[in-house]
Amino acid sequence: MLRRVSQLLFEIRDPIVQQGMVAVSKTLISKDLRVLKVYVTINKDEAGQQAVMQSLFKAARFVRGRLGENLDLRFTPEVRFHLDDSPERAARIEKLLAAARAEEPADEEAAEAPAPDDGNDDDGEDEHDA
């Protein structure tokens, strides 16, 4: 389904979609096969992404019709486009990890200090009084 929807995006004659650098990242179909969620990534700024999404909403009927020609289903699913924010989330996580790594040297010095002796001579063997 992902491949077919990706191919159909090239058939959309809207210049905003054609110039929008749109890629289908994943597709999910509902259990009853009535709704197809298409997650797209758009390589533009936020205003450009919104313009492309509006064009995709307008093209959803076209995509649904073309899918219906190729699917052997009783009902052709309604196509709903969603902006995939995974790249932004991944960048935010990477930024947080980088910040955590920058703080790590101070934490490593504390970790290298020997642990205080708790008085427990547990070497893993059970000792019994004889």
Dmax (CA) for the chain in angstroms is: 90
Has residue 125 been placed in a domain? no
**What pTM was computed for the model?**
0.67
Residue 19 sits in a domain of what CATH number? Answer: 3.30.300.20
Structural domains in the chain (count): 1
Residue 112 falls inside a structural domain: no
Establish if 15 belongs to a structural domain: yes
Q: Are 43 and 84 in contact (CB under 8 A)?
A: no
For residue 130, tell me if it sits in a domain.
no
Helix, strand, coil percentages in the chain from 3-state DSSP, rounded to 5: 50, 15, 30
Whether the per-residue pLDDT at 126 is higher than 60: the answer is no
Whether 12 contacts 59, CB under 8 Å? yes
**Who contacts 36 (Cβ-Cβ below 8 Å, separation ≥6)?**
1, 5, 27, 28, 29, 30, 67, 77, 78, 79, 80
Count the Cβ atoms, other than its own, within 10 Å of residue 45: 9
In 3-state terms, what secondary structure has residue 95? helix
pLDDT in tens, 11-20: 888 888 878 7
pLDDT digits (tens, 9 = 90+) for 58-105: 999 999 999 988 788 788 999 999 999 887 788 888 888 888 888 876
For 26-56, the pLDDT digits (tens) are 999 999 989 999 999 998 888 999 999 999 9
Can you give the pLDDT at residue 130?
A: 40
Look up the domain containing 27 and give its range.
Answer: 2-87
Q: Alpha-carbon distance 17 to 46, whole Å? A: 14
Average pLDDT over residues 107-125: 57
On whether residue 66 sits in a domain, the answer given is yes
Write the CA distances from 49 to 11, 13, 55, 86, integer angstroms: 19, 17, 10, 14
User: Does residue 74 fall inside a structural domain?
Assistant: yes
In the prediction, which pLDDT does 113 show? 57
Q: Is residue 110 part of a domain?
A: no
pLDDT surpassing 50 at residue 108: yes
